[in-house]
A and B are shown apart, each in its own frame.
Chain A
Amino acid sequence: MDFLVPKLSATMESATVLRWLKQPGQSVRMGEALVELETDKAAIEVEAPADVTLAAIVAPEGTKLPIGGTLARLEPASGAVLAASAPAAKPATPSKSAPTPAAQRAAPAAAPAAQTGARQLASPLARRLAGTHGIDLARLSGSGPRGRVRKRDVLAAVEARGGTRPAAPAAPVTARAPASAIVEGFSAMRLGVAETVALSRRTIPSFSLDRWVETGAIEHARIAFGPGIERASGVRPTVTDYLLQAMADSLRAQPAMLDLWTEVEGRPRRVSPATIDIGLVVALEEGMMIPVLRDLGGKSLGEIARLRRDAVQRVRAGRLLASDSAPASIALSNLGRGGADRFDAIINPGQASILAVGREHERVIARGGAILVAKGFHITLSVDHRLIDGVRGAAFLGALAERIEFGPWTAE
């Protein structure tokens, strides 16, 4: 069977093969990463769809392919194939700035890093600059101790590629910086975010609904269940996990909220997903990613917390799985640790709604004729009006608010 380039984000149109993680002839378990692709947003590892043997690589490293392009040929697994059978038929990738023999001796780890997958040593600054300028660290040989790639190595590579060497080092432009402004390109991620939000604003007619909800129930549940869940599953659920469970339950009760708008051959079509998948907005220094947490319906807080933790770790490490880019109907953007009381989030293209959560704070409320002080936050639901009208959106928000304020929570 052919192994094709999957669609990994709403705005993605093509991908470049960064790195094959398996050699032809190797057998690969389902879910094991096979290849690393660079998309408009990030480097993403794509897993094997089943237990297979990598029969042949069709697109060698560096090849750019459209969505649906053939990456490789796979064969169903047969235990007989040995990993050692066929060596990779890959072109050598000579480094552009060839290291001096002395540097090679001093830094044996530098050159083979690309082949062996050993960690390329690089200073934090070099790592960041490489990302900004689209330089593959693995192809550099570092001039620092133990072959560590330094700022100067990355800048030399930028220069060698024909780019202009940035005038100033990595200093941020602060108020005290000299008047001569620096003009340089955006990172791939920044550009990806820009394109995505612009597409959303251009194509999705949205409106938002707002509600202030009390968080006492979550607070009590965190005290009551937190330690037990942490003992059982190794991770203590955060407020985000409680919100995810509340959203999943509410979506189960109102599955129409899951419907997606898509176009097949130019004609609008409704897609009703079979599972409850929720995107989670994860902030990064350069932008954000929205990994999708799959099939949350009926999941316990411990399970949700584990899924959430793993996804966030993958995002932070820049090692997304293809499943992180699965379609989803709704996303959650929790700015609870920020300084904003409430905000509207922009719907991720391809999704139908997004829930934005502001900072937790106390406020005076009226209840049963009495004045009291309660802790809570604003939840603001932005919906795609093509799919969801005010009545439906408000009903969902109301049910969700009740669910957040009163539980019940499924701990284990």
Chain B
Amino acid sequence: MAVQEITYREAIVAALTEEMRRDPKTLIMGEDIGPSGGPFKTCQGLYEEFGAARVRDTPIAETGFVGAALGLALTGYRPIAEIMFSDFLGVCFDQIVNGIAKHRFMSGAQSTVPLVIRAIGGGGLRFGAQHSQTGESWVLSVPGLKIVCPSSPAEAYGMLKSAIRDDNPVLIFEHKGLLSSKGEVETGAERLLPLTGSRVLRPGTDATIVASLAMVPRALGAADLLQADGIAAEVIDIRALRPMDTSAIAESVRKTSILVTVEEQTQVGGWGAEVVAQVTQQAFDYLDAPPARVTLPEYPLPFSPPLEDAALPTPESIAAAVKALV
């Protein structure tokens, strides 16, 4: 029961450990997560504490073990599946979008599907185009899934705990660029965070910047730059993408009249488009400029460091987008 400064990775481990202690029906599956503790050490210590039956190294077969998670969830367990790189969601796409997401509905609500899929994604680490995607856009349009994307250790901890206890399938997008970022987390307590709604990280009156995952610290950096120019930007972490609740964002825009979204995905079909559409519906008469989206360019993320850096939104490029509207 202590507030500690821990890393995003440690927050994930703490949430998994606490929830697996709490509920013997939980178990975790994934590639290299057993004695190795996971390629990103997000399962460190779990195998030692819970054993091989509940911390299961799987073959490299995402369709197989994500499908198995559905079978476990339908028959009384609460499985957690770790997808080593979000990019590999493509390998088990059918199980997620046709199986997991629709099972309850097609059964006439006979079934519940309490499972969690943790996918670790994101760019900036020179992993190239097949190991750097965040992946939210792929699943954003699928009813039946809950989709969250924690940007801080407190969120990684509180949302993962909520996800494990939730009776619906929850897809958590974690960001490997954030794994070593630190923040204060009260572990050991029932600090559950809701799986819907956004969070205002920094208040402001002149523009609303909405960001997710690793773009959140960059948006906060942009707000610092803008502050120096006398522009007070409000920064909001969207945090939960499905079900999407944009009411707090719309409320912010009613105050600032300017909306800029920032996401580490290409523009077409990203969550920013949905936020802009919903906010325009809710706060049309308060907009003083067309909303803008800061995103990745419409090509795969390049490998070469200067090219990758140029493709990713930065505090400077976010600030410039805001300034063009204010």
* Chain A residues within CB distance 8 Å of chain B: 123-128, 144, 150-151, 169-172, 174, 285
Would A171 and B255 count as touching, CB distance under 8 A?
yes
**Is B284 among interface residues, defined by CB-CB distance under 8 A?**
yes
Would B289 and A170 count as touching, CB distance under 8 A?
no
**Is B205 among interface residues, defined by CB-CB distance under 8 A?**
yes
Cβ–Cβ < 8 Å partners of A125 in chain B: 257, 285-288
Cβ–Cβ < 8 Å partners of B286 in chain A: 124-125, 128, 170
Interface size on B, residues (CB 8 A): 12
**Is B166 among interface residues, defined by CB-CB distance under 8 A?**
no
Chain B nearest CB, measured from A293 CB (Å) = 28
Would B285 and A151 count as touching, CB distance under 8 A?
no
* Cross-interface CB contact of A144 among B251, B255, B289, cutoff 8 Å: B289
Q: Give how many A-B residue pairs fall within 8 Å (CB-CB).
A: 35
Would B257 and A170 count as touching, CB distance under 8 A?
yes
**Is B254 among interface residues, defined by CB-CB distance under 8 A?**
yes
Would B289 and A123 count as touching, CB distance under 8 A?
yes
Cβ–Cβ < 8 Å partners of A170 in chain B: 254, 257, 286
Would B289 and A169 count as touching, CB distance under 8 A?
no
State which residues 259-290 of B face A: CB under 8 Å: 284-289
* Cross-interface CB contact of B254 among A126, A144, A150, A171, cutoff 8 Å: A171
Chain B nearest CB, measured from A349 CB (Å) = 30
17 extra A-B contacts, CB within 8 A, seeds A123-B257, A123-B288: A123-B287, A123-B289, A124-B285, A124-B286, A124-B288, A125-B285, A125-B286, A125-B288, A126-B288, A128-B285, A128-B286, A144-B289, A151-B257, A169-B255, A169-B256, A170-B257, A172-B254
Chain B nearest CB, measured from A232 CB (Å) = 32
Complexed CA–CA distance, A169 and B286 (Å) = 9
Complexed CA–CA distance, A174 and B247 (Å) = 14
**Which A-chain residue is minimally distant from B280 (CB atoms)?**
A124
Cβ–Cβ < 8 Å partners of A123 in chain B: 257, 287-289
Chain B nearest CB, measured from A229 CB (Å) = 29
Cβ–Cβ < 8 Å partners of A172 in chain B: 254
Chain A nearest CB, measured from B130 CB (Å) = 39
Complexed CA–CA distance, A170 and B284 (Å) = 12
**Which B-chain residue is minimally distant from A122 (CB atoms)?**
B288
Chain A nearest CB, measured from B286 CB (Å) = 5
User: Can you report 17 A-B residue pairs in the complex whose CB atoms are below 8 A from each other?
Assistant: A123-B287, A124-B286, A125-B285, A125-B287, A126-B288, A127-B285, A128-B286, A150-B288, A151-B257, A151-B288, A169-B205, A170-B257, A170-B286, A171-B254, A172-B254, A174-B251, A285-B285
Cβ–Cβ < 8 Å partners of A174 in chain B: 251
Complexed CA–CA distance, A172 and B286 (Å) = 10
* Top 4 closest pairs, chain A to chain B, by CB: A171-B255, A125-B288, A128-B285, A151-B288
Would B284 and A124 count as touching, CB distance under 8 A?
yes
Cβ–Cβ < 8 Å partners of A171 in chain B: 254-255
Chain A nearest CB, measured from B197 CB (Å) = 16
Complexed CA–CA distance, A128 and B285 (Å) = 6
Give the dominant DSSP class at A's interface: loop
Cβ–Cβ < 8 Å partners of B288 in chain A: 123-126, 150-151
Complexed CA–CA distance, A144 and B287 (Å) = 13
Cβ–Cβ < 8 Å partners of B254 in chain A: 170-172
**Which A-chain residue is minimally distant from B287 (CB atoms)?**
A124
Cβ–Cβ < 8 Å partners of B205 in chain A: 169
Chain B nearest CB, measured from A143 CB (Å) = 11
Complexed CA–CA distance, A120 and B66 (Å) = 56
Instruction: Choose among B251, B255, B285, B288 the residue with the greatest number of A CB atoms under 10 Å from its CB.
Output: B288
Chain B nearest CB, measured from A177 CB (Å) = 9
State which residues 217-253 of B face A: CB under 8 Å: 251
Complexed CA–CA distance, A172 and B285 (Å) = 12
Complexed CA–CA distance, A144 and B256 (Å) = 17
Cβ–Cβ < 8 Å partners of B287 in chain A: 123-125
Cβ–Cβ < 8 Å partners of B285 in chain A: 124-125, 127-128, 285
Cβ–Cβ < 8 Å partners of A128 in chain B: 285-286
Given contacts A125-B285, A285-B285, contact A169 B257 (CB under 8 A): yes
Cβ–Cβ < 8 Å partners of B251 in chain A: 174
Chain A nearest CB, measured from B307 CB (Å) = 30
Chain A nearest CB, measured from B267 CB (Å) = 20
**Which A-chain residue is minimally distant from B257 (CB atoms)?**
A125
Complexed CA–CA distance, A128 and B254 (Å) = 12
Q: What mask results when residues 178 to 214 of chain B are scored 1 for a CB within 8 Å of chain A, else 0?
A: 0000000000000000000000000001000000000
Cβ–Cβ < 8 Å partners of A126 in chain B: 288
Complexed CA–CA distance, A151 and B251 (Å) = 18
**Which B-chain residue is minimally distant from A154 (CB atoms)?**
B288
Complexed CA–CA distance, A125 and B259 (Å) = 13
Complexed CA–CA distance, A267 and B287 (Å) = 53
Chain B nearest CB, measured from A67 CB (Å) = 32
Chain B nearest CB, measured from A161 CB (Å) = 20
Complexed CA–CA distance, A134 and B223 (Å) = 35
Given contacts A124-B284, A169-B205, contact A150 B289 (CB under 8 A): yes
Chain B nearest CB, measured from A99 CB (Å) = 19
Complexed CA–CA distance, A151 and B326 (Å) = 10
Complexed CA–CA distance, A150 and B257 (Å) = 10
Complexed CA–CA distance, A195 and B315 (Å) = 53
Chain A nearest CB, measured from B254 CB (Å) = 6
Complexed CA–CA distance, A185 and B205 (Å) = 23
Chain A nearest CB, measured from B277 CB (Å) = 14
Complexed CA–CA distance, A67 and B179 (Å) = 74
Complexed CA–CA distance, A288 and B204 (Å) = 34
Complexed CA–CA distance, A170 and B286 (Å) = 7
Cβ–Cβ < 8 Å partners of A127 in chain B: 285
Complexed CA–CA distance, A142 and B128 (Å) = 46
**Which A-chain residue is minimally distant from B206 (CB atoms)?**
A169
Cβ–Cβ < 8 Å partners of B284 in chain A: 124
**Which A-chain residue is minimally distant from B284 (CB atoms)?**
A124
Complexed CA–CA distance, A335 and B288 (Å) = 32
Chain A nearest CB, measured from B257 CB (Å) = 5
**Which B-chain residue is minimally distant from A285 (CB atoms)?**
B285
Chain A nearest CB, measured from B326 CB (Å) = 10
Complexed CA–CA distance, A127 and B285 (Å) = 8
Complexed CA–CA distance, A123 and B288 (Å) = 5
Chain B nearest CB, measured from A136 CB (Å) = 18
Cβ–Cβ < 8 Å partners of B256 in chain A: 169
Cβ–Cβ < 8 Å partners of A169 in chain B: 205, 255-257
